[in-house]
Structures are given as structure tokens and as C-alpha cells.
Structure 1
Amino acid sequence: MKKIGFWTLIFLLFSGGLSLLKSNTEIVEKHYSQGFYYYYSKTLNFCTAYIPFSIGDIFYIIVGIYLLLKLTKTIRQSPLLKDKIIACTGFTIKAYTLFFILFNLTWGLNNYRTSLQDKLAIGLSYDTTDLIALTTKLSKLVNIQQYQLTNNTAQAVVNRQSLDQIFKKAQKGIETTAIQLNLYRYFPTSINSSLYSTPLTYAGFGGYINPFTIEAQVNNQIPNLTMIITASHEISHQMGYARESDANFIGYLATYNQKELIDQYAANIYALRFCLSELYRTDSAKADQIVASLYPGVRINIYENTVFWNKHKTIIDRAFKHIYGAFLKTNNQKEGIRSYNKFLALLINYNKKVSIYS
């Protein structure tokens, strides 16, 4: 019981410290994101950047086996049922507390850094008129790009790039965007196809950042067009931009800034999906009108992502989305799973400031 009390106290004290950081983003930005995290992630990236498989995925397997063996041993050493329950409770609290502390020290504190909107000196407010304007602009742009890529309005664009090509271009795109947005320093990236792509698919995730080894992981089963921007999104997390909205925005610009038309098209299809999803909430008639104006090939590319995820949707997917939404809320992203949609607010307001599409 003493161990339970000790680890519970450690957890509460650390949680209290995190609460204080919510109102001290400048401290986190200077001393953690631009300090400790920069050097920690740079060191790990140099070690893993040239390894053609995910060290982090293997790390999870080893840790999982170790914890299972440790828990089994703990249970066996307790003779009575009451003792087994106490031992399991103590083990769980200790393991979670250590995970919680390590997660935040190695990557999670980036959730409390200065927000991207403050770095860019832009607001987050927009109205339906702004949304319609961006959606209309993107719809016209993707129509033009789709025809340039296929010479056939009815044909969907197919991305035939290899994973290696996608990853290398994503790295270059992020470098360019880091300079464009004046983001703090940049370092070599480490990005791989995840060994857990099948579980990720059924859990509803296109990729993830390993918060301990700082490796960007991409689900190799998602549609190839989506994979282009997913790679940039995960590298954005690797740079220390933990908020989903920030990673979406940086990932979008990094892909949009690519020289090849197919990458620009992938970026705009991605943004257009967000726009249409949001517009259907506020003005479904206008959303229907814009969708009707899209070339058939464009509509195929927009819906192929939805078709893919619907094909793999299970109770596991719904459970993980609920859990991940709660996880985001506990990590200073109060919108939960809707944090991804905050990307539109950043895009609309940044476009007002610099005219991305002019």
C-alpha cells in the first residue's frame, strides 16, 4: 500500500507541475522545445535516420513483453487474492506514472509550447463566408491540377511514388516550410513505414510519432495520395509541434510547397476535404454545389480516403478515437479529436496574411 501511495503522490505532483506550465508557454518554448527537446531529438534522429526500419516499433514490442512478464511475476508472488489485487494496482500505477513522466519529458511537453498562431501572429476566427471562399478557391485549383495530371476529367490521380521518394520529399518540404514560417532550427529527420500498419489501419490512424525514440511513423496501407501529406504531418510532430492543428498546417504547407504537381494536388485535396466537411456543418447546400462543380476524377480522390477508412471501420476504431480524443484533451488540446479541424482556422487566417494562392 505504501508503494501505491508513493507513486500516486509522484503522479499528482508531476500533474500539478504540468498545470502550471499551461500559463507559462514561453518558458516551455525556450527551455524545453528550443532547449532540451531540440538536442534530445537531434541526437536520436542522427542515430535512427539511416536505419531502414523502426527502432521505436521494436522498442514497444520489447517493453510490452517485459511488462507482461513483470506483471505475471508480481501476481504469482502474491499468495492471496487481496494481495494480488493490491500488487496489480500498485504495478499499474507505477507503470503508468513512469510512462506519463517519460512521455512528457521526451516529447509531450511540446503540447505546452507557444502556439503556432502566436508565432505567426494570426488569429483563429473565421466565418462561413471565409470558409466558402477558401473551399471555392481550392475546388477550382484541384480541378485544374487534376486535369494537368491526367488530361481526363473523369480519371482519378494515382500517386506512383515509392515510400522512399515520398519520405525524402517530405523532409525537403519541411525544411523549406521551416524557413518560410521562421520556425526554430531544423535537424535531420527519421521517418519509416510502421511495422504496426495493419493495427493502425483498424485503429483509424494514418501514422504517429514515437514520443520516446522521436521517429515519425507512417501507415503504409493508407491511400498513396494521403500518404504524401501524412509523412509531412508526422515530421511536423517530430519537429516538436505536438498540437494536431499545428502539425496539419505545417504538413499542408510543406506538401503544397513541393515542386511536383502531384504533391501540390495531394495537399489541396487534403485541405479541400477538411473544408467540405466543415462547410457541410454550416451550409450544406453550398457544400453540395461545390462538390457538384468538381471533376469526377477529383471526387474519386476526395472520397477514396473516406472509402478506405469506412472499409476498415470497426468497434476498435471507435474505441481508439474516443481514447485518443480524451488523450488530446489531457495534453492541452481541449478540442480533443476536433483539434485536427483547427487547421482550417490557421489556414484561412494565414492565407489572409500572406495570400498563399495568389
Structure 2
Amino acid sequence: MVLPISRFWYKFSLFLACLLVFWAGFYPEWVEKYYAQAFYPHWSRTLRFLLGNIPFSLGDLVYGLALLLLFWAIGRMGRDWGRMGFRSASWLWLGKILHALLWVYLLFSLCWGLLYVRPSLGTRWQLKPVAYQKEDIRRLTLSLLDSTRKYRQRLGTEAVWRPCRDSLVPWTLSAYAPLALAQRTPALDQASLKPSLFGAVGDWVGYTGYFNPFTGEGQYRADLPFVLQPFVALHETAHQLGYAPEDEASWVAYTAALNHPSDRVRYSAHLELLGYALAEEFLLYGQEGSFAAFDSIAKENKARMDPGVRADRKRIRDFFLSRQNQVSPAMNALYDQYLKLNRQEKGLRSYHAVLSWALAHQN
């Protein structure tokens, strides 16, 4: 069948636009200059202005609508198989699926996704990530154990576990103000942080928060332990400000928290990094195959960790263990592939790469 001229040029233009976006991914400096520095800050600020004061997550509604459309399309495809025959209907729907995927790819890339190919954070912050050894991680772990003890003892249990939803936006704005003043991050005049409408879905998908690239909103789980929420808010806001890789977003969030006036914000950030450091340390020492060294490190960490920190970590662990299900591993595997497709070769372990930035900062 010959396509009408208008339909041909529409499909050709869509394909060409996607091809140009894909081609731009091979030129990080061009993306940095014309997209990350010239276009994206204005686009992000516009989205925050338009959607930031809406009290619910528009992005969640968009995803919910997309899911309903997917179910509707599956039903229509089944009907067309019965009416048109399997082969004809399959070719028809293959074209429709490719058309939809091209639009998703184009919108995702233009709204935010091109940030994955900008040059590394280190080139902009004059910071070189460290290829660490177990001794480096050991040194960092001890430092984080001391920091978490200091903030936990200042706060006490009641303050650590007090609800903080109304404080997240003010905390986030004040955390990023010094970084903007130092020209480390774009100015954050208005945040767009929302509690997710589908918090229970997080048990199945396995997220604590997420950034919606199409609406520019940062979502966090309202049912998440309160001690985690400040860092999650800072992390998703870092994505909002243009830091796409997970390790870079975590490092920017941690840096924003370092000199924050609230001990709750600083404790949340140090507790997050401590979790990564402990996991990485046990992995590196475990790979040596020396049970004696592994056991010695574990006992020393337990003795050095503040009892309040230990209780908080147990409470967090119990929260996630009580919500484990059989779907989460599959969703984690999908997200792992998503990260790898977007140039984060380590997949989910990209989150642990924030330790390289922390060590570079220490040195």
C-alpha cells in the first residue's frame, strides 16, 4: 500500500528526528553546550513553575493513563487478530508499536534523557572519581560510622523518626542554594517534589523515589521510613537539575546535605552513604575468601556503630523485608537493563559508584 504524501513525510520526519537525537549521543560536548547548558535549565525551570505547586503527582497520572492505554491496546490487538487474521493484524500492530516507541524515545530524550550523554560530573566539578581498593573503602566506612554517630546522638530517636513531609521542600531548597551560589548546580528557585500516588506499587517495582522525565517531577514514597526521605528528596531533585547518572545524582545530593543546617538532612545523607560503604566493604573483603578478615571487620563495625544507628538500620531493613515479593527481582532486572542502556555499565551497582566520588572528595 502506498502511503499518502502527508503520512509519509510525518513518519519520515519522526524517524529523522529520532536519528538526529541518537546521533547527538556521540557528541557529549555538543550535548553539554546546547542541551544541558542552553536548553535544559530553562525547560526544567518551566516545568517546575507550571507543575511544582500542583499538590499531586501529574507524572503518576500520566503513567497510570499509559498503563490503561497499554491494556486497551492489548485488547484491540486481540480483537484484530480475530477479525483480520494473525499475520495481517501482527504487521498492523508492529507498525503501531514501533510508532509509539519512536515517540517515547524522542520525548524521553528531548525532555531529559540526553543528559545521560553529557560529559562526566568530574569535568565540571574538577573532581576525578577514584578507582578504590578495599583499604580505601575501609577508611571511608570508618569516617561514615563516626559521622552517623555524631548526628544520631545529637538528634535522638524521636527527632529522627518524626514525620517530615512538610519540611522536604524547604530543606531541599536550602540545601541546593549554596551549590547554586558556587555555580555547582543550576539555581533551584522552586522545587517539584510530590508524594507518589502509587506508593504501594513501590513494593512491587522496588523504588524509594523516582524522577519523571516527562513532567520533571520528583516522586518519593510517603510510606518510606522518615529517616530516608530527606536524602531521597535531594537525590530526585539532583535528577531534576540535570544530573542523570545515579552515582552523580547521589553525590550531588550528598554534597548538598553536607553543610545543611538541619542534622536530620545530614544524618539521612550520611546514613545512605554508610549503607553503600558497608555493602561494598563486605563484598570486597568477602571476595578475598578470608573469613577471619571478614569476621574481624564485621565485629569492628558493629562495635563502632552507634546503637541508635544500628536500631535505625534494623528498622529500615524490617520495612523492606516485610514488603518483599516475587515481582521485585524481575523489576530490578528490568531497571538494571534500563541503566545499562543509558550508559551506566554497572547497572544497579551504579548507585554504589557514589563511593568513588566521596573518596575523591576526601583526597
- So what's the TM-score if we normalise by structure 1? 0.88
Matches within 5 A, 1:130-169: 130-150=136-156, 158-169=160-171
Q: CA deviation at 1:349?
A: 0.3
The equivalences for 1:60-99 within 5 A come to: 60-70=63-73, 72-73=75-76, 76-77=79-80, 78-99=83-104
CA distance in 1, matches of 2:313, 2:258: 17
Between the aligned partners of 1:189 and 1:309, the Cα distance in structure 2 is: 28
Aligned CA distance change for structure 1 residues 68 and 23 (closer, same or farther; 3 Å): same
Instruction: Please show how residues 281-292 of structure 1 align to structure 2 within 5 Å.
Output: 281-283=283-285, 284=294, 285-292=296-303
Task: Letter of the 1:273 partner, please give it.
Answer: G
Q: Contact between 2:116 and 2:342, CA under 8 Å: does it hold in 1?
A: yes
Cα distance in 1 for residues equivalent to 2:33 and 2:134: 37
Counterpart code for 2:334:
I
1:57 aligns with 2:60: yes
Residues 266-307 of structure 1: per-residue CA shift (max 9 Å, x gap): 111111111111110123332441232212211121233332
Taking the aligned partners of 2:199 and 2:183, their CA distance within structure 1 comes to 32
Question: Hey, what does 2:304 align to over in structure 1?
Answer: 293
SS in 1 for 2:62: helix
Shift of the 16–233 alpha-carbon distance from structure 1 to 2, 3 Å rule, reads same
Residue 320 of structure 1 deviates from its aligned partner by: 1.0
Q: Is the 8 A contact 1:142 1:269 kept in 2?
A: yes
Q: Match of 1:171?
A: 173
Deviates more, 1:50-59 or 1:176-185: 176-185
1:175-194 equivalence runs, <5 A: 175-180=177-182, 182-194=184-196
How large is the RMSD of aligned CA atoms in angstroms?
2.7
Unaligned runs of 5+ in 2: 286-293
Quote how far apart the aligned CAs of 1:335 are: 1.3
Match of 2:237, as an amino acid? I
Paired residue for 1:205?
Answer: 207
Task: Give the 3-state SS of the residue equivalent to 1:308 in structure 2.
Answer: helix
Counterpart check, 1:129 vs 2:135: yes
Q: Give the whole-Å Cα distance in 2 for the aligned partners of 1:181 and 1:337.
A: 29
* Residues 187-225 of structure 1: per-residue CA shift (max 9 Å, x gap): 422111010111023211011111111011111111111
Task: Find the residue that maps to 1:212 and give its secondary structure.
Answer: coil
In the TM superposition, 1:29-48 aligns within 5 A as: 29-48=32-51
8 Å Cα contact 2:169-2:191 kept in structure 1: no
Q: Match for residue 356 of structure 1?
A: none
In the TM superposition, what is the alpha-carbon distance from 1:232 to its structure 2 partner? 0.5
Q: 1:73 & 1:48 partners in 2: Cα distance? A: 33
Mapping 1:304-323, distance limit 5 Å = 304-323=315-334
Distance 1:252 1:236 in 2: 10
The 3 A distance-change label for structure 1 pair 316 and 9 is farther
Which residue of 1 is the match for residue 259 of structure 2?
A: 257
Percent identity, please: 27
1:248-276, CA deviations, whole angstroms, 9 ceiling, x for partnerless residues? Answer: 11111222322121221111111111111
In the alignment, structure 1 residue 341 sits paired with structure 2 residue 352:
yes
In structure 2, distance between residues paired with 1:267 and 1:303: 17
Q: Which amino acid aligns with 2:269?
A: A
Report the AA paired with residue 135 of structure 2. Answer: T
Q: Is the 8 A contact 1:236 1:251 kept in 2?
A: yes
Question: For residues 2-49 of structure 1, what are the alpha-carbon distances to aligned partners after superposition, in whole Å with 9 as ceiling and x for unaligned?
Answer: 99x999998986676555444422211111111222222211110111
Instruction: Identify unmatched segments of 5+ residues in structure 1.
Output: 353-358
* Alpha-carbon separation, structure 2, partners of 1:12 and 1:161: 48
